[in-house]
């Protein structure tokens, strides 16, 4: 039995609070059960040096975890003087996922940076980050349209992500921490709202996984992402 | 006239939400108007190397600001590879202030680290951090007492802090950002609940200040701190 | 047509030269066409601090690229003072892949570090690294068995990896650099010799990919990995 | 009794040697008893990037301590790869203090950097640094006036600083190391020659301090600073 | 007796393989016995900022050692976040040696960077690097001449280097690792093909050395360098 | 003509002031004309980890330059976050030179660190550092003997160093900055008081140098070092 009687293909209760902070062009607190991530999208009318003069925009992301987002305190990355490998891996994934749904040419020479800071971590922080960042980014673009700085929102659709995994031989959707720790296989899937894939990252933590298991996990992800997209749409409709 | 018709000696609406996150031994979201800081106190049954075997505890603090806590985005310190001078100065101040109200001998070889992370910054983040951290630390100690790991709470009382300043010749209590930017003199005062001083840091940003102005600022601070202590007590009484 | 008339499901000519350097416990120069990676496995009779006293071993990996392994010179990471995000991501992947085929309990308190240094880069350096590192690690374990330090080789089998991708709508196995740059989707697959999956990492560089495309890529990967395993076995049989 | 029969309100013998080194535009060795700090002011006809084109100058400061300025050797900050929190705090204080007595607009786009390097430390290094840096900066500006690069010296007056404290219930002026270590309260006061305050930083190291004690410390500081200003004026008159 | 019956004034078998990698403008694998260094020369049509607009070129070098080039594994410098003192010393020596044989004015505003990466280390890696880098640089310049970017090769001749030392009272040419470890005096000599000296660096590891010993070492170096220059010329003649 | 009518083989006026600072076990301000270096020797009853338990001592050195020791200000190494290549090269040279005259076995498990900090730089800072550090180290050892911690001073004699060079075809001893900048060849020689060599580092800055020129430089160095040793002995005799 999963915690809180969740079904194997059921995502945790998801909540997206827009305008969570006052200054960012897009600000969303995303909650997947006890996992809480603040996603702030910042607009800069400027692009990285290597893009200057090409008439294209850029979308990037940074990820961080408050030292006590977790059960025991982690060392603050600013204090240790560098971002760890896990942090870098995650923020590169978030940024790629966001860029996959944006028409960079249509942005003009503007840069959007989405900061995903984990307030509380109970599994699935990277996929929650992507799902929330998509909404924060949409808000930021909407603001640019409202200000007349963009003619239309350059997003081609929403991007959502979910983690799925195999625990004791059973495929599960949207793992929480206790499940994640026990998983043999852990997979993060990032999809567009049309159900096409942007990223698929499956890792055998224990036993290698078979083709059949991969198929089961993909099906669970597809179901979960459909539910997340509903929440994203509802949040933006408010 | 101050924003929101505040009186010159009036602090902003203050709110302290205990148990804001689930895992920290003490977790307080402190709000001074639009300034919001998450203070998480973590307990470790261990002390820094230079204290080992002395039968004493230690209290320390770290401070950070989310990149988009402010009107425009600041570079993430973890990404730039070091904490800036302002950050270091603030976290040293918070830590000294907290230690001033704790009987370190009575703690035994335990360390409390309070992380103060600014979610939204509208002036006075360091004084809000101290005021909130005191409550988070109290909760953490209370938990150790409840677990039988400490016989009594080693805090000698609360510590509170407020910023005061002179704007256009007028002394003001609890500056918000627009006031702070315009201040000629800016002073942070840290006090015990008995009204004794732990830290006084006054800085002439523009014109140097006179002895009389210093007296006016101290009086404003005393009044503000009395109000903050009420909120601290109320929060802990809940 | 692919360069050198390669078939879409055909890997490049692969060569694994054992004992390439003289001092490492395992040393393999792996070549996938023009991609050349030196994989040196080092044995240390010691484990990381967090593992001490648990009777278990550890396998880790580091990855680097010589500054002029590529068409234009890249800045030396030692000179810039940190490893980039890509490097960290890759070395974490190599290490996880290697650990997946080793019985860490059976190793005892020994650590194997495999350094994968890219001498020449023409696409697929991370998958070539994994494929070569598996052989270097096998040699290192064999040496420990020969010295009587281990009773048996703790590897459960070989691990191989290949990159596959979609270029102009066509699935291709073992992308070289010109193909990789043009790919819409790029996927790295790591498998055991039994054909079970250890890692699957697919990324849409351009258009998102469909379930059918994912299936096609997995089939190509399976075919390629079977060929690579032949080369691994042949190398170890010499 | 204080060491060397000093009165409670008496500063140590102070010496300011101008032109201590040959190349700096202003170079002062300041001695407060056994505390010796070399203050070198350097002029650059250039300003930091964020000030360019604004027609304003800038004054900044850096602080360092030779590894064996103290009773036992401290690690060299250049070797440990970063400046500690204490160093940053001090150099920010010195810089703010110096800027408070300079008309930055009148400087034009020129930058003055004052390096304060502690040769020997016996308490009060930050206040000695400020007091000596003021003279070194005056020399540097005088040189610019003599060269016709500035019409007049943009300094509005001297800045001086002294540390005061409470030791065993007794207020003392200009603490030396043995007194500083025993102090319950330690306060640094920075003043203009007109007796106005630029910075007041009081810290309870042991017991919190009362309003009356603060008043006593301020009076001691005022007396000490008057004496230091005499020495500054005498030095510049030579 | 020396290993492999070498005569005291005999260099190890030397091999220089040109075009060892495919992309660098000059690429030489240099082998002195078991010491193997890959020297890649990269051309950039650009100079460091401090040289811009002066119509001159620049030659620089970087040095690195693969972690397992040696008998036991050394920590990767990119992972430890900085280049060690030995690395910096060596790469500065290589760069000075190369510049000594190049007419920088004749280069125009072009920069050549030679990366010397040690694949296997058995003593004399810095002198092998210089000897190999000279050939790699010659190839890079030749390419620029062939492309019409330079009228003539700006090298004034070859530069070669060898290490000599005193082991058990006996002067030896081209020390290998076991000899180097036992040497009382170790000297690196860098010469032009005309036999003039560019660098002489002699160090007493054990006993200080006399004038006579220095003379003996210089004679051995001269003989060794003559042999190395033969190999350089032969390699370029191929 | 040399500045101040110096003869070609004449060293600058040299002064060694012992006990320059109060706390170091040995403290010497060494002046070679306008070059001034403070050499502080610190004793620690402890050795680096890799030496523990071997019954041997260690001698090391660190070198730094105050930012405004030179004609124009250099960036502070502590602020830039690392020691430059030149600094590392120099401090390694100083340390090796000092160790060459100490019987490390006779020291017992004690470490001496000599900090050489350049107050003013007018050429020859590294050789002045070595010459002054030798005296500072002698004082430190003498103190250990006086305290009964060592039976006898473990120094085998003094170590001295001088820079020599060829300027406009003329060999010169003890170059000052204007000479050094114009030198074709620059050589640092470190010798024992018996005239044996510890280090010889000659570099052709412009034209390569001949064997005859090397001989001329060595003779000049021998003469200069004899004069420096006189000053060292006189200083220690006071």
Written as tens digits, the pLDDT of chain D (238 aa) is 899 999 999 999 999 999 999 999 999 999 999 999 999 999 999 999 999 999 999 999 999 999 999 999 999 999 998 999 999 999 999 999 999 999 999 999 999 999 999 999 999 999 999 999 999 999 999 999 999 999 999 999 999 999 999 999 999 999 999 999 999 999 999 999 899 999 999 999 888 999 999 999 999 999 999 999 999 999 999 8
E198 at interface of F, judged by CB pairs closer than 8 A: yes
Which pLDDT value is given to residue B90?
Answer: 97
A61, A101 in Cβ contact below 8 A?
no
E contact chains, 3+ CB pairs < 8 A = C, F
- In chain A, count of helices (H) and strands (E)? 6, 9
B165: helix, strand or coil: strand
Which pLDDT value is given to residue E205?
Answer: 86
A66 at interface of B, judged by CB pairs closer than 8 A: yes
D10 at interface of F, judged by CB pairs closer than 8 A: no
Percent of chain C with pLDDT over 70: 100
Residue E238 pLDDT > 90: no
Distance in angstroms (rounded) separating the CA atoms of residues C118 and C69: 7
Half-sphere exposure of D160 (CA within 13 A, CB side): 27
C160: helix, strand or coil: strand
Which pLDDT value is given to residue C1?
Answer: 81
B153, B102 in Cβ contact below 8 A?
no
Distance in angstroms (rounded) separating the CA atoms of residues E166 and E172: 6
A191: helix, strand or coil: strand
Residue A205 pLDDT > 90: no
The sheet carrying B197-204 orders its strands as B170-173, B159-167, B185-192, B197-204, D197-204, D185-192, D159-167, D170-173
Nearest CA in chain F to E222: F211
Beta pairing class for B197-204 and C14-18: unpaired
Is B73 annotated in a binding site? The answer is no
Tell me whether residues A66 and B115 touch, CB distance under 8 A.
yes
Structure confidence at residue A31 as a pLDDT band (50, 70, 90):
very high
Tell me whether residues D85 and B82 touch, CB distance under 8 A.
no
B117 at interface of A, judged by CB pairs closer than 8 A: yes
D80-90 as b/e: b if 16+ CB within 10 A: ebbbebebbbb
- The per-residue DSSP string of F152-216 comes to S--B-S-EEEEEEEEETTEEEES--HHHHHH-SEEEEEEEETTS-EEEEEEEESSS-B-HHHHHH
Average pLDDT, chain A: 96
Distance in angstroms (rounded) separating the CA atoms of residues E98 and E116: 12
Nearest CA in chain F to E103: F206
Tell me whether residues D21 and F81 touch, CB distance under 8 A.
no
Tell me whether residues E67 and C62 touch, CB distance under 8 A.
yes
Tell me whether residues E82 and F85 touch, CB distance under 8 A.
no
Distance in angstroms (rounded) separating the CA atoms of residues C7 and B228: 75
The tokens 């009777």 sit on which residue? C55
D96: helix, strand or coil: helix
D11, D174 in Cβ contact below 8 A?
yes
Q: Tell me B119's DSSP state.
A: E
For F103, the enclosing helix (H) or strand (E) is none
Tell me whether residues A198 and C214 touch, CB distance under 8 A.
no
CA-closest candidate to residue C33, choices C233, C238, C224, C236: C224
Structure confidence at residue B235 as a pLDDT band (50, 70, 90):
very high
- The per-residue DSSP string of F21-83 comes to SSSSSEEEEEEETTEEEEEEEEEES---GGGTTSS--EEEEEEEE-TTSSSSPPPPHHHHTS-
C112: helix, strand or coil: strand
F133 at interface of D, judged by CB pairs closer than 8 A: no
Query: What does each C-alpha distance from A40 to A30, A129, A132, E106, F139 come to in angstroms?
Result: 11, 10, 9, 54, 62
CATH architecture of the domain with range B14-237? 2-Layer Sandwich (3.30)
Closest partner residue to A68 among B21, B81, B83, by Cβ? B21
Q: Which two tokens stand for residue E123?
A: 């003593």
* Residue E209 main-chain phi, psi, to 5 deg: -110, 155
Distance in angstroms (rounded) separating the CA atoms of residues D113 and F75: 11
Which pLDDT value is given to residue F238?
Answer: 86
The residue-averaged pLDDT of B223-238 equals 96
C159: helix, strand or coil: strand
E217, E202 in Cβ contact below 8 A?
yes
Tell me whether residues B197 and D204 touch, CB distance under 8 A.
yes
F208 at interface of E, judged by CB pairs closer than 8 A: yes
D196, D204 in Cβ contact below 8 A?
no
> B2-38, pLDDT tens digit by residue?
999 999 999 999 999 999 999 999 999 999 999 999 9
Percent of chain A with pLDDT over 70: 100
> E75-118, pLDDT tens digit by residue?
999 999 899 999 999 999 999 999 999 999 999 999 999 999 99
A131, A161 in Cβ contact below 8 A?
yes
Give the number of other CB atoms < 10 A from CB of residue A169.
8
Which pLDDT value is given to residue C206?
Answer: 82
- In chain B, count of helices (H) and strands (E)? 6, 9
Nearest CA in chain F to D26: F68
Q: Tell me A102's DSSP state.
A: B
- The per-residue DSSP string of D2-35 comes to -GGG--TTPPPPEEEEET-SSSSSEEEEEEETTE
Distance in angstroms (rounded) separating the CA atoms of residues D57 and F141: 50
More confident residue, C129 or C194: C129
Query: What does each C-alpha distance from E178 to A200, D214, E3, E167, F125 come to in angstroms?
Result: 52, 71, 9, 10, 35
CA-closest candidate to residue E24, choices C31, C177, C68: C68
Tell me whether residues E69 and C23 touch, CB distance under 8 A.
yes
> C197-212, pLDDT tens digit by residue?
999 999 998 889 999 9
Max distance between CA atoms of chain C, in angstroms, equals 57
Q: What is the 3-state secondary structure (H, E, C) of chain E?
A: CCHHHCCCCCCCCEEEEECCCCCCCEEEEEEECCEEEEEEEEEECCCCHHHCCCCCCEEEEEEEECCCCCCCCCCCHHHHCCCCHHHHHHHHHHHHHHHCCECHHHHCCCEEEEEEEEEECCCCHHHHHHHHHHHHHHHHHHHHHHCCCCCCCCECCCEEEEEEEEECCEEEECCCHHHHHHCCEEEEEEEECCCCEEEEEEEECCCCECHHHHHHHHHHHHHHHHHHHHHHHHHHHC
Rounded to 5°, the CA angle C136-C162-A209 comes to 90
Which of E105, E130, E197, E229 would you mutate first to test chain F, the one with the most F CBs within 10 A?
Answer: E197
E62 at interface of C, judged by CB pairs closer than 8 A: yes
Residue E126 pLDDT > 90: yes
D224, D164 in Cβ contact below 8 A?
yes
- Angle, helix A125-146 to helix A85-99, in steps of 10 degrees: 40
> F78-114, pLDDT tens digit by residue?
999 899 999 999 999 999 999 999 999 999 999 999 9
Q: Which two tokens stand for residue B191?
A: 């006090």
Give the number of other CB atoms < 10 A from CB of residue B215.
15
Tell me whether residues D120 and F21 touch, CB distance under 8 A.
yes
Tell me whether residues A21 and B68 touch, CB distance under 8 A.
yes
For chain C, domain boundaries:
14-237
Distance in angstroms (rounded) separating the CA atoms of residues C64 and E79: 10
- Across-strand partners of F115? F40, F62
The tokens 């007194």 sit on which residue? D179
pTM for the model stands at 0.92
Distance in angstroms (rounded) separating the CA atoms of residues A20 and A31: 12
To 10 degrees, the CA torsion angle through E31, E32, E34, E37? -40
F111 at interface of D, judged by CB pairs closer than 8 A: no
Q: Which two tokens stand for residue E30?
A: 């240099």
E212 at interface of F, judged by CB pairs closer than 8 A: no
Distance in angstroms (rounded) separating the CA atoms of residues D128 and D161: 7
Q: Which two tokens stand for residue F98?
A: 């000092």
The tokens 């006084």 sit on which residue? B200
Q: Which two tokens stand for residue E218?
A: 């210089």
F71 at interface of D, judged by CB pairs closer than 8 A: yes
B57, B104 in Cβ contact below 8 A?
yes
Closest partner residue to D203 among B86, B199, B214, by Cβ? B199
Give the number of other CB atoms < 10 A from CB of residue B165.
27
Distance in angstroms (rounded) separating the CA atoms of residues B39 and B16: 10
F contact chains, 3+ CB pairs < 8 A = D, E
């Amino acid at each position: 039995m999963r915690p809180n009687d969740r079904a194997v293909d059921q995502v945790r209760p998801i909540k997206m609070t827009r305008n969570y902070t006052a200054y960012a062009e897009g600000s969303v607190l995303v909650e997947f059960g006890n996992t809480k991530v603040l996603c702030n999208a910042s607009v800069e009318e400027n692009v990285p040096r290597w893009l200057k003069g090409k008439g294209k925009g850029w979308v990037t992301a940074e990820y961080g975890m408050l030292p006590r987002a977790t059960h025991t305190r982690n060392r603050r990355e600013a204090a240790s003087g560098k971002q760890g490998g896990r942090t870098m891996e995650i923020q590169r994934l978030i940024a790629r996922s966001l860029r996959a749904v944006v028409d960079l040419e249509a942005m003009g020479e503007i840069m959007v940076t989405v900061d995903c800071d984990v307030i509380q971590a109970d599994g699935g922080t990277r996929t929650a980050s992507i799902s929330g960042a998509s909404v924060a980014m949409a808000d930021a673009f909407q603001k640019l349209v409202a200000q007349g700085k963009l003619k239309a929102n350059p997003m081609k659709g929403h991007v959502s992500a979910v983690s799925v995994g195999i625990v004791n031989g059973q495929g599960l959707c949207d793992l929480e921490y206790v499940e994640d720790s026990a998983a043999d296989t852990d997979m993060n899937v990032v999809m567009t709202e049309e159900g096409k894939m942007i990223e698929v990252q499956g890792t055998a933590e224990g036993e290698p996984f078979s083709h059949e298991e991969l198929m089961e996990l993909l099906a669970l992800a597809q179901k979960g992402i459909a539910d997340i997209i509903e929440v994203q749409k509802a949040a933006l409709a408010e």
